[in-house]
Structure 1
Amino acid sequence: MSRARTPVKPATIKDVARVAGVSFSTVSRVVNNSKPVDEPTRLRVMQAIEELRYVPNTLARGLQTRQSRCLGVMLPEIGSSGAAQILEGAESYAREAGYTLLLMTTAADTSREIECFSIMRQQQIDGVLWAAATYTDAHRAWREHHALPTVVFAQNFSSDGLPSVLVDNYHAAYDATDHLIGNGHRRIAMITGDLNDRAVGLDRFRGFQDALAAHGIRPDPDLVVHGDVSPHGRDTASEGSGYQAMAHLLPHRPTAVLAASDNLAIGAMQFILEQGLSIPGDVSVMGFDDLDIAAHPMLRLSTVAFDFYELGVLAARTLIDALQGAEVPAVQLYPYRLVLRDTVRRL
C-alpha cells in the first residue's frame, strides 16, 4: 500500500516577502495594486509569487479592505441568448477590473429577488447588477434597512435612487411603428408585453400609441393584445403567447403587427403561416430585441436591435465606477437601431 501524500502547505504572503527580499506591505501593494511600486521590485515580487504559486487570500483581504471584489448579478433566467450576452458582457468588464461575479436567478419573483439581495449582502458582495421587472413596496422596504450598492439594467428605477441602464424603449417602439406607417400601413396591431413592466411593456406600448397619433391614426382597441414577454425572452412561453395573440388579432384584419419581443413575433408568424397566409404578402411583422434567431434564413425578421453584450458592459462599468467613488448618471439610455429584413412590405 502506498502512503498518503502529505499535503503541501500553501505559500503565505510572508513566504513571498522572504523570497523577494521585501516587506509584507510591499507584497500587499503589488497584489492589491493599491500603491505604486518601482518596476524592479514589482518584478521580483511577481517572480516570487509565480515560484511559490502563491494565491492571495481574498477573504482575508476583504476583511481588511471591506471589499470582496465580487459583484452579484440577478437575472430572471439565463436560458435566452439575450440574457447570456448581457452576462458575458458584464463578466468580461468586471474581470478586467479585477472583480468576479456571483450569479443568481430570480424568475422575476419579488420574494426570490429579496432573498437574493439578502444572501448577497450576507456574502459581503460589493454591489449588485439587477435585471429587474418591477420595483415594489417590498423592494423599497428591504432597501430602507439594508445598504447594498445596486445598478439596475433593463428598467428605469432612478426615481428610487437606483442608477439605471436601459434601451430607450419608448423611442424604439415609436420608430418601429413609424417605419410601418411609412410603408403605407394604417391598420397596425401590437402584441404588447405586461404593462406592469414599464420598460418592455408600458414604454413600448406608449411609443406605439404616440406614433399612431402623430400620423392621425385612431387606435383600434381590437388591434392590441397583451402578450407574455417572459424575462429576457424565455422562448417557449413568449412564442406560445404570440401565437395566441395573433389568433385574436387576425380576424380584425391588420396589415402589420408590431410585437414587443422577437419571440412574440415568431409565435405570431407561426399562426399567420398556418392560416395559409404569407409574410409579408398578407401581413407584415416586426419584432423587438434582434435575438440571434431573428436573422435565421427561414425567418429574416425585421426588428429593433441593440447590443446585449455592450449593455452588460455598460451596467458593470457603471456599478464599478460607483463603487470606486465616481459620480454616475441616474439614467443611461443605450442606443438602438432598426434592422430591416424581409418581413415588412410596402403597401
Structure 2
Amino acid sequence: MDKENVTIYDVAREAGVSMATVSRVVNGNSNVKQATKEKVLAVIKDLDYRPNAVARGLASKKTTTVGVIIPDVTDEFFSELARGIDDVASMYHYNIILANSDESGSKELQVLENLLAKQVDGVVFMGNVIDEELRAEFRHSHAPIVLAGSVDEQNQQPSVNIDYIEATKDAVKKLVANGHKQIAFVSGNLDQSINKNYRLKGYKEALAEAGLEYNEALVFATDYFYGSGYRIAADVKNSIATAAYVGDDELAAGLLNGLTDDGVSVPNDFEIITSNNTKLTQVTRPQLTSITQPMYDMGAIAMRMLTKLMNKEELDEPTVVLPYGIIERQTTK
C-alpha cells in the first residue's frame, strides 16, 4: 500500500472496525474499548497512517472549507450527525461553516446559495426537503454535495442513510406482534419525502403483511417539536389507536408526556416506538423504545465521501446504506 495515500478507510478495514471508531481513537476519545483501541493503534503504526498526510489539500497550503446545512441545530438527531462530520473534518483540517435552514425549503435553497457564493469547496446537506429547485441548484453547483440522513428519491446525489422503509416496517411489525391492530402513525409533515414515501410506505407495508386495514384516521402529521407531540396526544388518545410509531424522538417525547398527563399509562394502555434513538429516548420516563441508527457514522462517512469528491476521486459506492436495529426500552411491553 502506498504509505502516502493511507486513509482512515484503510485503517478501519485492516482493523475490522468502523471509520468512526478509528476517528475516536485518533482524537483520543475515551469512548472506545481498550482492546479495540490497541488493535486500531497497532494498525495505525503498521500502515504508518498520518491523519495530516491524508489531507492532501495541506500540501498546497490551500484552506478547504466545507458547508454543512442542518435543518434544525437543536434537533438531537442532526446534532449527533454533525459530530461525526466535524470529527472527520478536523482530522483533515477542514474549516466548517454551519448553516441552519429552519426546516423550510425556501430557506434551504437560500442557505445553499449563500454557501456556494462563499466559494465553499464542498457541502454536506442534512435536510428533510429536497424539492426541484434545490435539485437544480445541486446540479449546477461547482462544489460536490453529499447528503447525510437525507433521502433523495432520484438517487442523483451521493448519500448516507439507513433503509427508512424497512426500519419503519420492522418497528410497526413489532407493535403488531405485541397484539396491536390499530396503530397510529405520527410524523412530521407528509409533504416531506422521508415521511410520505419512506416511513409511511414502511408503515403501510407492515400493516398489509399483517392483514390489517390501512386507516387514514390513524395518520397524524405535524412538525418535529416537543410541543406538537404534546398537543397531538389528545387526538391520538381519542382515536382508536392502542399504539404508535413516531418518526421523531422530540415528537415522541411530547406524545408520551401528553398521554401520561391525560391519564394514559404507557406501556400498559398504549405502546410507543420512536425512530432516532437520540439522548431524548433515555431522558423520558418511561424510556422510549426506538429504532437505532449509527448517526455519528452517517455523518463521518458522508464527510469522508465529500473529501474524496473534493479530491476528484471516484466513490466506491455513491449510495451508502448503514445498518439499523431496534432497542427495547420501557414504552413497549
Task: Decide which of 298, 319, 343 is 2:331's aligned counterpart.
Answer: 343
What does residue 238 of structure 2 align with? 251
Is residue 188–residue 223 contact of structure 1 (8 Å, CA) maintained in 2? yes
1:169 to 160, 164, 171: 164
Q: What is the match of residue 117 of structure 1? A: 112
Q: Helix, strand or coil for the counterpart of 1:159? A: coil
In 2, distance between residues paired with 1:119 and 1:267? Answer: 34
Specify the code of the residue in structure 2 equivalent to 1:342: Q
Q: Does 1:270 align with 2:265?
A: no
Gap regions ≥5 residues in structure 1 = 1-32, 35-60, 230-237
1:319 aligns with 2:286: no
Paired with 1:169 and 1:82, the residues of 2 have a C-alpha distance of 14
Cα distance change on mapping 1:257 and 1:140 into 2, 3 Å: closer
* CA gap 1:68/1:116 in 2 versus in 1, 3 angstroms: farther
What is the CA distance between 1:160 and its match in structure 2?
A: 6.0
Alignment counterpart, residue 210 of structure 1, candidates 197, 205, 209: 205
Unaligned runs of 5+ in 2: 6-56
Deviation at 1:87, TM superposition (A): 1.4
Identity of aligned residues (%): 24
Measured against aligned partners, the alpha-carbon deviations of 1:275-315 in whole angstroms (never above 9, x if no partner) come to 22211111111111112021136231111111221111011
1:280 corresponds in structure 2 to 267
* Equivalent position of 2:320 in the other structure: 332
Structure 1 residues 111 and 339 mapped into 2: Cα distance closer, same or farther (>3 Å)?
same
Change beyond 3 A, Cα 1:115–1:226: closer
Name the CA distance, whole Å, in 1 between partners of 2:153 and 2:221.
26
1:103 is paired with a residue whose SS is: strand
Partners of 1:318 and 1:138 in 2: how far apart? 24
Contact 2:125 2:150 in 1 (8 A): no
Within-5 A mapping of 1:1-347: 68-157=63-152, 159=154, 161-229=156-224, 238-296=225-283, 298-328=285-315, 329-345=317-333
CA 1:65–1:301 in structure 2 vs 1: closer, same or farther (change >3 Å)? same
**Cα deviation, residue 240, structure 1:** 2.0
Contact 2:128 2:151 in 1 (8 A): no
Cα drift, residue 332 of structure 1: 1.3
Deviates more, 1:170-179 or 1:124-133: 124-133
How far, CA to CA, are the matches of 2:110 and 2:202 in structure 1?
34
> Matched residue pairs, number?
278
Contact 2:253 2:280 in 1 (8 A): no
Supply the RMSD in Å over aligned alpha carbons: 2.4
Q: Larger Rg: 1 or 2? A: 1
Pair 201,158 (structure 1): closer, same or farther in 2 beyond 3 Å = closer
Normalized against structure 2, the TM-score is what?
A: 0.76
Is the contact between residue 81 and residue 297 of structure 2 (CA under 8 Å) also seen in structure 1? yes
Q: Once the 2 structures are TM-superposed, how far is the Cα of residue 176 of structure 1 from its aligned partner?
A: 0.3
For residue 111 of structure 1, give the secondary structure of its aligned residue in structure 2: helix
Contact 2:228 2:254 in 1 (8 A): yes
The ranges of structure 1 where at least 4 consecutive aligned residues each deviate by more than 6 angstroms after the TM superposition are: none
Which amino acid is the alignment partner of residue 183 of structure 2? I
Q: CA shift at 1:179, angstroms?
A: 0.7
Residues 208 and 119 of structure 1, relative CA distance in 2, 3 Å threshold: same
Query: Contact conserved, 1:152 with 1:164, CA < 8 A, in 2?
Result: yes
The letter of the residue matching 1:218 is: E
